[in-house]
Amino acid sequence: MLEDLAKDEEKMDEDHSNANQITKDRRRQEAHYFKLYGRIEIHEWLLKDSVRIKAYREAIQHNEFFRHKTVLDVGCGMGVLSIFAAKAGSKRVLAVDAATISKYAQQVAQDNEFGRVITVIQGKVEDIELPNGIKKVDIIVCDWMGSSLFSGNMLESLLFARDKWLSAAGHIYPDTAQLYLAAIKGRDQDLGFWHDVHGFDLSAIRLRCESKAVVEHVTGDQLMSRVCLVKSLDLYTEPRQSAKFRSLFELKVTRNGWVHALVAYFDVGFSKSTQRISISTSPSAPWTHWNQTVFYLETPLPVMAGECIKGVFAMKPSENSIFDTEFDIFLNFDGREKSVTIHQSFVLTDPLTLC
């Protein structure tokens, strides 16, 4: 019995040590993450996305609800959304960001004559307290979306802020989101590249690449099916851990040809704006910095109009890296020329951390 107790204590010590190591690893990853997001070139890239900036400006700057309100900007970056809120007549704007880029946000506010309205707080939103005894805010603005909507896992920070500080009648901008899946044909130069690289067969590298979800620009003429909604969010009621889910999908093929990959893209909406405002990252919509997320299939599918590609789409944040999102795609296709069942796993690394 004493031996059993000793083994139990040893196991508890081992579990405690592993938990401490995981915590240390995560802290190191977070420090690296915020260092990466402190680079000016990343924020310059975001500011040059005219679709993104136009939507936020129109949803905030000309919105009467912002007048005399207290606003929380989660992940403020250089503070552009905070300036929109201040210009809309907000009484006070609290701009929070753990990345070092936030040190520029206060100067930007002062340079644009909003220094008395905007207060910048450097730190994780989960770790800070609001100044001057503020307990609730009227509005939260946040550019939380990543590739395939959830990459970067910033939604968790927004939902934390909502639960802790948003008033009962408060607004969130944006407040709705939808994630879609479709089938696409690939570009020949992308698919065949590894088979002939300066006269050498490097197809073994392509096998490695097939486990990577790829963020790239997909155009509307690559679509081979209707789109399927796989996830819908209402940010006023959405529970935590929403980035982990499974969804059935059915993609109805719209034309004859080959399907080389599935593509994920998202839309977000600003339902509390004075006019209908949204951002779409659809292949048929104007370009945004998010592009689309592509999952190349091991086996291309010869398809004919009217056929259906069915399956399960599963997503979750990586347990090993805050930079990664993991996907499992189970696909069943019973076509006139070919029938296949496929299970592929993919990893998506936050593309902005690779810049």
More confident residue, 243 or 142: 142
- Inter-residue contact 153 to 322 (CB < 8 Å): yes
CATH 2.70.160.11 residue ranges for the chain: 176-353
Fold designation for 176-353: Hnrnp arginine n-methyltransferase1 (2.70.160)
- Inter-residue contact 67 to 274 (CB < 8 Å): no
pLDDT at 48: 94
Mean pLDDT score, 233-238:
97
Mean pLDDT score, 192-212:
75
Mean pLDDT score, 224-238:
98
Q: Please name every residue paired with 233 in a beta bridge, in sequence order, or none if there are none.
A: 177
**Under CATH, which number does the domain 40-143 receive?**
3.40.50.150
pTM, entire model: 0.88
Q: Would the pLDDT of 308 be above 90?
A: yes
Mean pLDDT score, 255-268:
97
- Which band of pLDDT confidence, cut at 50, 70 and 90, is reported for residue 296? very high
pLDDT at 27: 74
DSSP assignments along 145-165, one per residue: -BTTBTTT-THHHHHHHHHHH
Q: Would the pLDDT of 64 be above 90?
A: yes
What's the rounded Cα separation, in Å, for the pair 139 and 65?
9
The mean predicted confidence, pLDDT, of the chain is 89
> In 37-141, which residue ranges form alpha helices assigned H by DSSP?
40-47, 50-60, 80-87, 102-111
Q: Where are the beta strands (DSSP E) in the chain?
A: 70-74, 92-97, 118-122, 137-142, 166-173, 176-184, 214-216, 228-234, 245-252, 257-269, 278-280, 292-303, 308-317, 324-334, 339-349
Which SS3 state, helix, strand or coil, does residue 282 take?
coil
Mean pLDDT score, 45-74:
96
Q: Which of 201-210, 212-221, 256-265 has the lowest mean pLDDT?
A: 201-210
pLDDT at 297: 93
Mean pLDDT score, 28-42:
74
pLDDT one-digit tens code per residue, 109-129: 999 999 999 999 999 999 999
- Inter-residue contact 312 to 247 (CB < 8 Å): yes
Which SS3 state, helix, strand or coil, does residue 261 take?
strand
pLDDT at 181: 98
Q: What are the phi and psi torsion angles at 46 (to 5°)? A: -65, -40
Mean pLDDT score, 338-353:
88
CATH 3.40.50.150 residue ranges for the chain: 40-143
Q: Would the pLDDT of 189 be above 50?
A: no
pLDDT at 353: 60
Mean pLDDT score, 211-217:
92
Mean pLDDT score, 210-217:
89
Q: Would the pLDDT of 171 be above 90?
A: yes
How would you list the strands of the sheet with 70-74, edge to edge? Answer: 118-122, 92-97, 70-74, 137-142, 166-173
Q: Would the pLDDT of 244 be above 70?
A: yes
Share of the chain above pLDDT 70, in %: 87
7 CB-contact burial (10 Å; exposed 0-12 / middle 13-18 / buried 19+): exposed
Mean pLDDT score, 230-253:
96
Which of 222, 235, 213, 229 lies closest to 316 in space, CA to CA?
213
Which of 179, 183, 263 lies closest to 215 in space, CA to CA?
263
Q: Which of 63-77, 147-161, 192-206 has the lowest mean pLDDT?
A: 192-206
More confident residue, 5 or 298: 298
What's the rounded Cα separation, in Å, for the pair 278 and 282?
12
What's the rounded Cα separation, in Å, for the pair 226 and 292?
16
